[in-house]
């Protein structure tokens, strides 16, 4: 499943989830994670329901995560400082940590990377700042993503790729996303893996059972 791991349809954005799913079909996607949208399907594109959780403290995050327990909702938490991120990455029920490019270098370090790997929580590389920002802001995002990719090669936590598109005009094709991801050191194999990870978050592969 080739998935854009975060889009924001109406009411957060300007386009309906149906219109964005139809556009995703034309752009080469099999599925989308849509914030505050119900699980549905249009034109063969599966729409996974997602929630985007913000909070200043980890204690604020936990109740919202618990409300999604037992559902197929993809829980995405916005990154904060180092202590916040480490606490979130240890929470059961969190699937993705996003916005890491907005933190400083210590916000997501080798300790957080190890926790993410152990928990199976994905780190989101949002292409929005690469597409829409310019100058120092764009370069800062690129630098942080390069740091994340280096940590991923060492600790092997999952990566996902997203556009955080709020309208069909902000969506990008799979080919464009691959080209943009190459700017932060992801090759074709890495991109394929990252685009496939979102579909595995809520239904991880079962553990191997040893039968004697």
pLDDT tens profile 79-110: 999 999 999 999 999 999 999 999 988 999 99
Architecture of the domain defined by 3-200:
Alpha-Beta Barrel (3.20)
* More reliable by pLDDT, 183 or 205: 183
Distance CA 115, CA 133 (A): 30
Q: How many CA atoms lie within 13 A of 135 on its CB side?
A: 1
In the predicted model, what is the mean pLDDT of residues 1-20? 96
- Enumerate the domain spans of the chain: 3-200
The per-residue pLDDT for 203 is 62
Q: Which ranges of 1-105 would DSSP assign to H, the alpha helix?
A: 17-27, 58-67, 82-89
Cis status, amide bond into 20, omega within 30 of 0: no
Structure token pair of residue 206: 């079962």
Give, for 49, the enclosing helix (H) or strand (E): strand 45-53
The per-residue pLDDT for 206 is 42
Distance CA 71, CA 64 (A): 12
Predicted confidence (pLDDT) at residue 163 exceeds the cutoff of 90: yes
In the predicted model, what is the mean pLDDT of residues 151-155? 97
């Amino acid at each position: 499943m080739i998935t854009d791991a975060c889009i924001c349809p109406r009411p957060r954005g300007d386009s309906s989830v149906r219109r964005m799913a139809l556009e995703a079909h034309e752009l080469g996607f099999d599925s989308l994670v849509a914030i505050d949208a119900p699980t549905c399907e249009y034109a063969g594109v599966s729409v996974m329901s997602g929630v985007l959780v913000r909070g200043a403290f980890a204690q604020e995050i936990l109740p919202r995560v618990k409300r999604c327990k037992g559902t197929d909702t993809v829980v995405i938490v916005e990154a904060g400082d180092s202590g916040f991120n480490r606490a979130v990455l240890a929470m059961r029920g969190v699937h993705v940590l996003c916005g890491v490019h907005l933190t400083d270098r210590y916000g997501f370090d080798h300790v957080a990377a190890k926790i993410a790997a152990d928990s199976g929580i994905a780190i989101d590389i949002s292409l929005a700042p690469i597409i829409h920002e310019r100058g120092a802001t764009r370069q800062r995002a690129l630098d942080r993503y390069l740091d994340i990719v280096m940590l991923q090669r060492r600790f092997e936590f999952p990566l996902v790729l997203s556009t955080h598109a709020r309208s069909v005009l902000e969506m990008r094709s799979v080919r464009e996303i691959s080209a943009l991801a190459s700017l932060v050191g992801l090759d074709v194999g890495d991109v394929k893996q990252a685009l496939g990870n979102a579909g595995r978050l809520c239904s991880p592969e079962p553990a191997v059972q040893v039968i004697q």
